[in-house]
Amino acid sequence: MTRDAHEQDPTRTGEGAEPLDPDGLTVGRTAALVGVSVKTLHHWDGIGLVHPSERTWAGYRVYSGEDIARLHRVLVYRELGLPLAEIGRILDDPHADARGHLRRQRSQLVERISRLQKMVGAVDRMLEASTTGMQLTPEEQIEIFGTDWQPAWVEEAEDRWGDTAQWAQYAERAAGTTPEGWKEIAAATDALNADLAAAQRTGVAPGSDAANALAERHRALISRYFDCTHAMQACLGRMFTDDPRFAGYFDAIAPELASWLREVIFANAKAHGVDPESARWE
């Protein structure tokens, strides 16, 4: 039987063995007591962090009460994120301000807990939003967005982008938008489309100040749903001409509006240091 097997069975009384010192614990019993593996205790022993300081008359190494207390201190410091080498220095330095160190670590833990609580709240809101989504019936959606609107588009969009951070933003914002809020967004969309068509009709050139201002209005409108960067807007510009449904939507407002809007978006993206042809969704 190996040394570990002996140490993990404190009641073993084979040939040449005697009951263990009642004040000491074998490696196996100590591991079970403090909640770590025997391998971990051997490692800490090997690096000089915590030694089993006593032995039975038969030669079995056992941990004393003081050893167990030191192990618990190691576990506390390790839970705080300290490396083992630093833990050893703190425990072995008679001049170390252990209480002061613990107070500082406690302060850091309180801050970490506060940040984690805020993250939990954000995740809860995202989960609620992704479950509830747009708070409009299909009939209300058609009433607000027009008879060309297809409520199934929302589900299709979720299938396509549901695993992105932007969809999570959209879901959270949609869940908190009232019917009146959707009507305001629809009105802003109609106004922008009318201004885009008028600008195209009057020959506003992509890259001009007027065209760039319209591109920024378009990006701001998209940002009502999720935070839209210039790179993301360039990706949308490509989709406006590559996807027949988007192209049909804009070209129904004004002939060739989809291509013109794409060029407007591209020129504005270039002005902000983005290559629209290679832009990625980020």
Q: What CATH code is assigned to 3-96?
A: 1.10.1660.10
Handedness of CA 134, 135, 140, 144 (dihedral sign): negative
- CA proximity to 140, closest of 128, 154, 129: 154
Q: Does domain 178-271 sit in CATH 1.10.490.50? A: yes
- Domain(s) of CATH 1.10.490.50: residues in the chain: 178-271
Contact 144, 154 (CB under 8 A): no
Q: For the chain, 282 residues long, give each residue's pLDDT as a single digit of tens.
A: 344 444 444 334 333 333 344 457 888 899 998 899 999 999 999 999 999 988 877 778 899 988 998 998 898 888 877 889 888 888 888 877 767 777 877 787 787 777 777 666 555 554 444 444 545 555 655 555 555 555 555 555 556 665 677 777 777 777 767 777 778 888 888 899 899 999 999 999 999 999 999 999 999 988 888 888 999 899 889 988 888 888 888 888 899 999 999 999 999 999 999 998 888 877
Q: Which helix (H) or strand (E) holds 231?
A: helix 230-242
Residue identified by tokens 């988007």 is 246
- Domain(s) of CATH 1.10.1660.10: residues in the chain: 3-96
H helix intervals, 20-97: 27-34, 38-46, 65-79, 84-92
Compute CA distances 32 → 40, 100, 255, whole Å.
12, 30, 76
Secondary structure class of 217 (helix, strand, coil)? helix
